[in-house]
Amino acid sequence: MLSVKMAFIVKVFLAVCVQQIDASLGFRCCRKYMKGKLPFAIIKGYSVPAVTECVPSNFHTRKGNTCANPYLPWVMEYVERISGQMESRPTH
């Protein structure tokens, strides 16, 4: 019985440590990709984590952020379109 309790305590400890490491590094990896295609009109921007373990594109909308598979054609197209819009904006 003691070994079951000890195993549980170790699992909880490791889970807390992993969350603290993610938070201290300033990023959160996506656990899942969104299903379906996001309408381009609702996207306000995007970000791609600099950390190589976190590959997904993160689209920013009015309702929050959503993770998308960066290898899907529509995701690549959206990133290019947004990047093009950012480059064509005048700077002050």
Tens-digit pLDDT profile for the chain (92 aa)? 667 776 666 565 555 444 444 443 445 667 788 889 999 999 998 887 766 666 667 889 999 888 888 889 999 999 899 888 766 666 55
Q: Distance between CA atoms of 62 and 74, rounded to whole angstroms?
A: 20
Fold of the domain built from segment(s) 2-88: OB fold (Dihydrolipoamide Acetyltransferase, E2P) (2.40.50)
Query: In this predicted structure, what is the pLDDT of residue 88?
Result: 61
Check: pTM over 0.85? Answer yes or no: no
Total residues found in the chain within this entry = 92
**What does DSSP assign to residue 31?**
S
Q: For residue 43, what are the contacts with CB-CB under 8 A and spacing of at least 6?
A: 59, 60, 61, 78, 82
Q: Distance between CA atoms of 53 and 33, rounded to whole angstroms?
A: 15
